[in-house]
Amino acid sequence: MGCPAPGAGDAARLNTPVHPHTRFQRVRLAVEAYAPPPGWRSWLYEFLLFGFKQGWACLFGGLMLALLLGTRVFWPEHAPIARYDALTLAALGIQIAMLAFRLETWSEARVILAFHVVGTAMELFKTSVGSWAYPEPSLLRIGGVPLFSGFMYAAVGSYMARVWRIFDFRFTSYPSRKASRWLAVAIYVNFFTHHWLPDLRLLCFAVMAWLFARTRVYFRNWRQHRWMPLLLGWLLVALFIWFAENLSTFSHAWLYPSQRDGWTLVSPEKLGAWLLLMYISFVLVEGLHQREGQ
């Protein structure tokens, strides 16, 4: 949807802070300075630029997905190191390289680390109750959870932190931060407690819709800010993650009980779980931006 950027009064609450230098900034300035002829060429260029920026924001997750699929096809059966352990070392190497080559800021890395810890804790619990399983052996693991699994959650945090910076997010009609953070806590707790207590997922969806029904996210893809409902943005990201999850389970990175006798499509109900997880990621990144002076 197109619209002028929000006014200073509306957007002041969540203006994007100035980030340390990254290599992407130089590329971004170059591509945004290009001036194609007006008309359809200009619209096409903006569309392609949007895809390029989204791909850049997905860099960590895209590399991880490529590793999952590639090792499933090409990893030798009698390799001296287990496939899962190789994935852990490769993910760690990617993270170090992104910082070393200034493809990611240290602030973003802190968000990713937080999401890694949050995700690993959830993995330990979910595998213990049989929600899903990791079918291959490994040494680098905690209980039944190989350490590369935390990087899959970190990929979601990485995308959220990078896309926020790359598209210069602004918001209007943003609800109380206190309320939004308590909702994030409730969602995370419900991921655990619904195994014994009533599942409050529908209530969480309702509260989320009530809090953010009027919230718009403004993003600058090229020369002006455009907007969409924030709830729609989260849903689109959750859909993309669900597609990636199907590819990941196809690669046997992990398996749900329904997939143990042969791969099947991940239930569309998982879209809701990813939407809730997307919300937690968003709140973690929003907290970082507030601490940095928003």
pLDDT digit string (tens) for 227-246? 999 999 999 999 999 999 99
**Residue 206 is assigned to a structural domain of this protein:** yes
Domain residues for the domain of 47 are 8-30+39-291
**Residue 83 is assigned to a structural domain of this protein:** yes
- Could you write out the three-class secondary structure of 162-199? HHHHHCCCEEECCCCHHHHHHHHHHHHHHHHHCCCCCC
3-state secondary structure of 255: strand
| Cβ-based burial of 46 (10 A; exposed 0-12, middle 13-18, buried ≥19) | middle
**Residue 18 is assigned to a structural domain of this protein:** yes
**Residue 259 is assigned to a structural domain of this protein:** yes
Share of the chain above pLDDT 70, in %: 90
**Residue 1 is assigned to a structural domain of this protein:** no
**Residue 173 is assigned to a structural domain of this protein:** yes
**Residue 82 is assigned to a structural domain of this protein:** yes
pLDDT digits (tens, 9 = 90+) for 63-108: 999 999 999 999 998 899 999 999 999 999 999 998 888 888 887 7
pLDDT for the residue numbered 292? 62
**Residue 164 is assigned to a structural domain of this protein:** yes
- Buried/exposed code over 68-107 (b: 16+ C-beta within 10 A; e: otherwise): beebbeebeeeeeebbbbbbbebbeebbeebeeeebbbeb
Question: What is the domain count for the chain?
Answer: 1
Residue 34 has pLDDT above 90, yes or no: no
Residue 13 has pLDDT above 50, yes or no: no
